[in-house]
Each structure stands twice: as C-alpha cells, then as structure tokens.
Amino acid sequence: MTLKVTIVGVGLIGGSFSLALQAVGADIEFTGCGRNEDSLLRAVDLGIVTRYSTSVTEAVAGSDLVFLATPVGAMEAVLAEVAQVASPETIITDAGSCKQSIIGAARRQLSHMENFVAGHPIAGTEHSGVEAGFATLYRDRRVILTPQSDTSAQAIETVRQLWIQTGAQVEEMSAERHDKVFAATSHLPHLLAFSLVETLYRMEQREELLRYAAGGFSDFTRIASSDPVMWRDVCLHNSEAVLESMANLREGMDALVDAINAGDGKRIEGLFKIAKDTRDTRILAKPQQTNPQQNEVSEGGPEPEPSPEKPQ
C-alpha cells in the first residue's frame, strides 16, 4: 500500500529525504508544505513532491507520516497545526538539531505522543532551498533518533526503516545526550565560523583582510554561509549546552593566551600536538565518506524555509 508522506519544509533536508526514497523505488506519495508557493511549484517540477499546499492542515490531512523540516523556532507552531488534523495513527517525525526543545513542544501540542519520533539527520551542506536537495545526501551519514519511553516501537521502526532506505546509519540516544554532543561537535563549530567572519568584518582594515582571506580561512569558515535564521534558533533552543561548549572553548583559548604571553613554546606546542594527534587518530581515522556532494563539517538540521504556519 502506498505510504502518504507530507514534508513540511521542502528544502535541502526535506527535499533530499524525498529524493533519496524515490531513488530506491519506495512506494510513497509525497506532499509538500511551505508558505512560499513558488518554491513548492519548483518542488513539483523537480519531482520532489507530487502535490503541495501552503496550509499545514490541508497538507497533513490524511497523511500516514509527517516529516517536519522547518527551523527549530517554527516547530511548535507547526506542531499545533499538525495536531488539528493528524489521526491517532499518524506518525510524526522531525529533523531538528535541538531535541529537548522539540520534544517539549511536541508534548505541549500533540495528544498522541506515542507516534512522535524525534530525529536528527547528521548531514547537510551550507546550501539551502528547494534546489539544494539531492538523493545521496544521507548516504553513509548518521541519523540520530531520540525516542521517549512512551514512543511506540512500531513508530520508531517505521521511521528507522525509512532512514535506512535513504542510505543512512540510524542510531539512538537520549535527547539530553544528543543536545550536549551536538552543541560541542556541530553547533560550536558553526558559531566559531560565524564569529570569525564577523570579527574580520568589524576590523578597521577589513577590506584588505577579506581580500586575502582564502585557503585555510575559506575552508574553516565555509559553514558561515549557513542560514542565519536556522542557527539563531539553534542558539536559543539549545542555549544551555551551547553556552557550556562555549565556556569550554574559552577555557582552551585562555590557556593558549597565557602560554603565548609567557613565551612558553613548549606549552604552545603541547596544546597543538594534543589537537593534531586527536584529529589524526580519532577523526581522520574514521571510514571516509563515499558521497562527494556531502560536506564533512556541515550538519544539516532543519531546512531554513520560513515557517509555514501563515501562508503568504
């Protein structure tokens, strides 16, 4: 029987989810939802969805599964609309990168929490929008599910199998652990990239500095091209873990400042050696990705399309 899936937020994350499942011949009918009708029409042209609506309730009605790929800050408003029409059997899952916040929103809005499966694909690029999606985005990438004690085993398995069909490796962890892990490994690197570019912009000689900002600087700051709305929401909705990671970074920077001020070359070299050895043995030693379009550092999270709760 054909599975009816509605994607709310048809961009990089939502669009790639559809394209990946279509590429393996999954028997699924995709409906798209967003407030930008031009983007939705383009999604139809690209074969990402077969139908669309700018109304969440209209798009979700009759769906077997709803995939939420909106910014984290829009999730609760979208969940409130989904709750109006979702049946007790409708499975709802998401792609947001702040799990505790989203699970809290789901508990406030949904009457059938057992069919809500919180998820987060660890995949993405610095690009966004309906044109950015591609079928191999999730190949050999991790997807983290953070089910609750009252989540239906059948709902978890349904979501798990869909992700497996996209080529992803599915893991489970608690929402609290997820938020701490990805504050340090994903959220903090993005904030560093944003901050470094903004720092150069504030400097008096910024034109000259930016003219020579290539090579390593360009590589390091690539993810500063990510969507500001999405990352604003991440900061606000995972603030405790993000601030903890920033405090840990500040401690490391203070140690380096002290070593430089003291002219302690041995200490400076020691700090750098720890970093180099850790990256060489723990990060570069991981199995290499097979997807040339995928960016190693960038992590997707929700597609930064405007919230669809109020159609334009």
* Domains of the chain as residue ranges with CATH: 3-173 (3.40.50.720), 178-283 (1.10.3660.10)
Q: Across residues 250-277, what is the average pLDDT?
A: 98
Range with the poorest average pLDDT among 10-19, 97-106, 223-232, 281-290:
281-290
- Residue 215: predicted pLDDT: 87
Q: How is 153-167 classified by DSSP, letter by letter?
A: HHHHHHHHHHHHHTT
pLDDT of residue 127 exceeding 90: no
Stronger pLDDT, 292 or 9, i.e. the higher one: 9
The pTM of the full predicted model, rounded to 2 decimals, is 0.87
Q: Residue 299's pLDDT band (boundaries 50, 70, 90)? A: low
Q: Residue 311's pLDDT band (boundaries 50, 70, 90)? A: very low
| Gap between the Cα atoms of 98 and 281, Å rounded | 29
Contact 28, 91 (CB under 8 A): no
| Gap between the Cα atoms of 145 and 27, Å rounded | 23
Range with the poorest average pLDDT among 7-21, 207-221, 266-280:
207-221
Q: How is 101-112 classified by DSSP, letter by letter?
A: HHHHHHHHH-S-
- Residue 296: predicted pLDDT: 40
- What distances in angstroms separate CA 104 from CA 75, 167, 237, one per listed residue? 10, 29, 11
| Gap between the Cα atoms of 299 and 291, Å rounded | 14
Q: Which of 127, 135, 197, 124 is nearest to 166 (CA)?
A: 135
pLDDT of residue 124 exceeding 90: no
pLDDT of residue 308 exceeding 60: no
Could you count the other beta carbons within 10 Å of the beta carbon of residue 275?
11
Q: Which of 310, 312, 301 is nearest to 126 (CA)?
A: 301
Run of H or E including 121: strand 119-121
Q: Which of 56, 108, 64, 117 is nearest to 88 (CA)?
A: 64
Q: Across residues 142-162, what is the average pLDDT?
A: 98
299: which 2 tokens? 């992590």
Contact 8, 70 (CB under 8 A): yes
Q: Across residues 70-92, what is the average pLDDT?
A: 97
Note the pLDDT tens digit of each residue in 237-249: 999 999 999 999 9
- Residue 287: predicted pLDDT: 59
Q: Across residues 25-44, what is the average pLDDT?
A: 97
pLDDT of residue 100 exceeding 80: yes
How many Cα atoms are found within 13 Å in the side-chain-facing hemisphere of 138? 30
| Gap between the Cα atoms of 11 and 24, Å rounded | 20
pLDDT of residue 304 exceeding 50: no
Contact 302, 16 (CB under 8 A): no
- Residue 22: predicted pLDDT: 98
Q: Across residues 281-301, what is the average pLDDT?
A: 57
211: which 2 tokens? 């003219």
Q: Across residues 131-154, what is the average pLDDT?
A: 97
Indicate the average pLDDT of the chain.
Answer: 91
| Gap between the Cα atoms of 153 and 149, Å rounded | 10
Q: Which residues pair with 204 in a beta bridge?
A: none
